[in-house]
Chains A and B, each alone.
Chain A
């Protein structure tokens, strides 16, 4: 099986990877199994640029292994590790990237492009429903945080 990561993940393992991400933890595997075929593997060498600030955003990334540095110019904003996601809102809108992403170590990433994702939600409304649910949860959390800080 896919013990050797270089061989790439099986679709089922991709589903399990998605399920292990915090944003998809409440999404049923049956829905994620529709999303898994859209995941494309990308290997990025250390210091390789994944995207630059102000690039048009049209995909999201999942880190299978390695570390990714999110930064604005020379200012570091975050270091992301295995099973973390970035650029997920770009699946839904086409805003420019608000920061740059660079591989801090050699990385294996999975990328999901906006276009096939749109095609998928055209035929599988439950995927769109799952995403709407995720966005609602985030919005609610944000509202609660704002209310608390006020």
Chain B
């Protein structure tokens, strides 16, 4: 069991996802193996039965087939839901493989052999579309990020095993019968697809609205007009697509040359099949190693442009070697060279080019990025097939034979075009970065600059760009771990823009730039902007550079400059200078002039761990709100328990003013907050805000306190639960039971309210007002229960349930109940669904009575008393007020004592009703 958990953690798969991930993995495994068998058979038969000169036609047919298959798929996509479409496609693939196999039995012509290889490309495309379509349907965006890597990995062992098995099996069963193996693998995938289909029904039901809506607006992936529109829309996408065609085209020509040599070297179908199968198996292993070990490291180390150049450089070297050695080399040697070129180009383009292409698309806005993916998926391959097929055919027609030397020269020319293409893509990529920086639509979380080339370029751009560009570039560079180079900081301190200079000085306050700071004393001699001068003074003091230069500003008539000098000297200098600054501060703090006190409050608030306890306490009690605000922040930053204690107690007087400063205090504020809440100090609203604040502090200690409060203060459940939910708390095994207890209590209360509502229906009095109030109580209980579920179980699923209830749509709620059933603990989900199922209360009351003992109300008085008493406690003020109102309005003699006690309520509405 433990072993299994370790595996799941390693693969980042959650327990509830295991079943579906396993099915998807096996689906991809069997279909991948089936396709590997099919390729081995089709390629072998083609090479065995036809001249190599026929291969270009195969490429041209493949282009036509791919367009047609893609087009039909996009039409079917609108007619069927994706899981059904997946099944249709698999059956279609099975039928097509069976057709080819039977064709060998019943037809003597070999035309179908000719179509098998183009058909392989169709199978490959359909498998991709089907698999990713189904996977995208089953997982939301967050799951996709985690799981797509794992499930797509099914393809690699499938290929490895498929090709190896084909290589071994061909000796015993012959090439044609490899199609049976392909067929068997495809059929073996069906149970997994059916399993996935069943699991996806619920999901689709839940998302039905979304999907139908999306489908209405979705344009066909393979709509030529649409692709051309998109293609012409963005220069980066255009260049990437052109480079993509060039890359795939080069690969196909190398592939052709390699196949020509293979055909020359192997003369029987078995030896051909054997070679093709083992060769592809080896490629799969190398691909796996390169992808796992080298890809990300290489891209990070080399940067984007250099990574893109790896493949053409390797191809250039190999093709040049082939050209040079063709007259002297062993023919077997040429085969190996072409084999190596084919292998390396295939591996490098898949493991390096494709990820780099994705990285290059990152600066594009989301919708443009999606378009780029669509174009690269939908346009490059068919066009590459078409162009390379026509090019090879033209060459054969001109020379009357397959001339690998000419083909090598074509490849050399393509290499050169490839270099140019990479250069053009890089130029456009950098332009796009600048544009995205200027538009500020990039997100630092998604968009990280790691490669040294781009970093270098950004630094250069920071010296020459516009104000906005420079600030955004600095933001990006600052987000990286390495500090910004001092030379760049120094040059930007001379920038004519005040905004840029301020930004740089702020960075210098944040992080240490001692070398750049040394240039400041000379610089401030000529500085005329008070704001820049004040900032520079602070940086100079922070770096202990030239206090004497700063001293003269203590007497400045400009308050900003004077305060900066005071701040710098008081906090960073020592001896006589510090004393002098201190004396000025004391004079200011006792001044009648509030602006002077405010200056000190602002200075102190800029420092963490300020030791001036007396000064801070004095300012915290200042009559001027804005001075208090700064003093509260200073207390929050002070790490001083005495000040934090004083701060929270001032909350009684100044209520919410203390919240943010306490948040700044973080963990150190927690003891003071806990004692304050436990002692029931302050207003209900303040206590509620403080509980939420504990959640916002979001540390292990704050979680511990919230759990303690959950046990101690059941009356504060809603805010405690909300605070825990909003934090990143994940309950440990031994803490889960406390939440289950809370759930049980809340379910019991909910059942109690359902009983009261049911009684209200049967009472002769008009208690609609009370019934509405109780419905609100139930809504609130339901929401709080779902928040506890979200803490304990799969948060994404539970949030779907919450949204469904918030929508009020009955179908959505029914689907949500199903989701809850598979997400939460069975008994709890059952009870929840029983109580909160939409519809008539009386219908489900019978089942509720089996679980919760019925509460009997003899009459309306009894019912009102039960609400006003603490027996079914914790009703909100609105419900209590309604109960009193109903009692008084309709002269129902509820217990007067139960009403009078609310005369001291903090809530105006309840107090007014009780006093009436």
Contacts and interface: CB of A to CB of B under 8 A. Distances in A.
A33 B889 contact: no
B772 interface: yes
B905 to A, nearest CB: 12
A146 B772 CA distance: 36
Contacts of B888: 1
Interface in B877-903: 877-878, 881-882, 885, 888-889
B776 interface: yes
Interface stretch (A8-16, A39-47, A48-56, A96-104): A8-16
B908 A10 contact: no
Contact of B876 (A1, A10, A30, A122): A30
A30 B776 contact: yes
DSSP class of B's interface residues: helix, strand, loop or mixed?
A: helix
B72 interface: no
Contact of B656 (A16, A37, A123): A123
Given A1-B888, A1-B889, A30-B776, A11 B909 contact: yes
A12 B876 contact: no
Contact of A33 (B655, B656, B779, B877): B877
Interface residues of B, number: 21
Interface in B549-593: none
B772 A29 contact: yes
Contacts of A36: 909
A37 B885 CA distance: 17
A11 B908 contact: yes
DSSP class of A's interface residues: helix, strand, loop or mixed?
A: helix
Contact of A29 (B655, B878, B889, B913): B878
Interface string A18-36: 0000000000111001001
A33 B776 contact: no
Contacts of B916: 1, 10
A33 B685 contact: no
Nearest to A124: B685
Nearest to A15: B909
B881 A123 contact: no
A42 to B, nearest CB: 20
Interface residues of A, number: 14
Nearest to A32: B878
A37 B876 contact: no
A33 B876 CA distance: 12
B685 A123 contact: yes
A10 B913 contact: yes
Contacts of B878: 15, 29-30, 33
Interface in B837-889: 876-878, 881-882, 885, 888-889
Contacts of B779: 28
B773 interface: yes
Contact of B912 (A11, A16, A122): A11
Interface centre among A11, A12, A37 (most CB of B within 10 A): A12
Contacts of A122: 656
Contacts of A123: 655-656, 685
Contacts of A15: 878, 909
A30 B882 CA distance: 11
B776 A12 contact: no
Given A1-B889, A33-B877, A28 B912 contact: no
B881 A12 contact: yes
A28 B776 contact: yes
Nearest to B908: A37
Interface centre among A16, A30, A36 (most CB of B within 10 A): A30
B685 A12 contact: no
A82 B847 CA distance: 45
A37 B912 CA distance: 11
A120 to B, nearest CB: 11
B691 to A, nearest CB: 15
A29 B655 CA distance: 25
A33 B776 CA distance: 13
A71 to B, nearest CB: 37
A29 B685 contact: no
A12 B656 contact: no
A28 B878 CA distance: 10
Nearest to B686: A123
Interface centre among B876, B877, B878 (most CB of A within 10 A): B878
B508 to A, nearest CB: 36
A41 B674 CA distance: 42
B885 A12 contact: yes
Given A30-B876, A33-B878, A123-B656, A10 B912 contact: yes
Contacts of A16: 769
Contacts of A10: 885, 912-913, 916
A78 B808 CA distance: 35
Interface of A: 1, 10-12, 15-16, 28-30, 33, 36-37, 122-123
Which 4 A-B pairs give the minimum distances between C-beta atoms? A11-B909, A30-B878, A33-B909, A11-B912
Interface of B: 655-656, 685, 769, 772-773, 776, 779, 876-878, 881-882, 885, 888-889, 908-909, 912-913, 916
Given A33-B877, A122-B656, 9 more contacts: A10-B885, A12-B882, A12-B913, A15-B909, A28-B779, A30-B878, A33-B878, A123-B655, A123-B656
20 contacts: A1-B888, A1-B889, A10-B885, A11-B908, A11-B912, A11-B913, A12-B909, A12-B912, A28-B776, A29-B772, A29-B773, A29-B776, A29-B878, A30-B877, A33-B881, A36-B909, A37-B909, A122-B656, A123-B656, A123-B685
